[in-house]
Structure 1
Amino acid sequence: MMEDLQPGMVAPDFTLPSAGGNQVGLRDYAGRKLVLYFYPKDNTPG
């Protein structure tokens, strides 16, 4: 089981499909500035 991410923690490496259908991973951005936005639930009020 993965632990919850807390502020200041290093994000785990992951790979997801891009809008164009290519696989994009966190490691693709190594050495570059990147902002990741995490939110608890999609399509919920608040």
Structure 2
Amino acid sequence: MADSSDERRAVIDELLELNQQLLESIMVGDWDTYARLCDPELSCFEPE
């Protein structure tokens, strides 16, 4: 069984990966990925 520090590290790694995906989707204008990763009430850009 993994200890709590391993679980915490796994959560941190997952959040960092999702954040990286979000930033990349913003940079390239990938609306579908951006919408999948964000709250629908928030946006940093509008779809064209």
Task: Output the TM-score relative to the length of structure 1.
Answer: 0.20
Larger relative contact order (Cα-Cα within 8 Å, sequence gap ≥ 6): 2
Which protein has the larger Cα radius of gyration, Structure 1 or Structure 2? 2
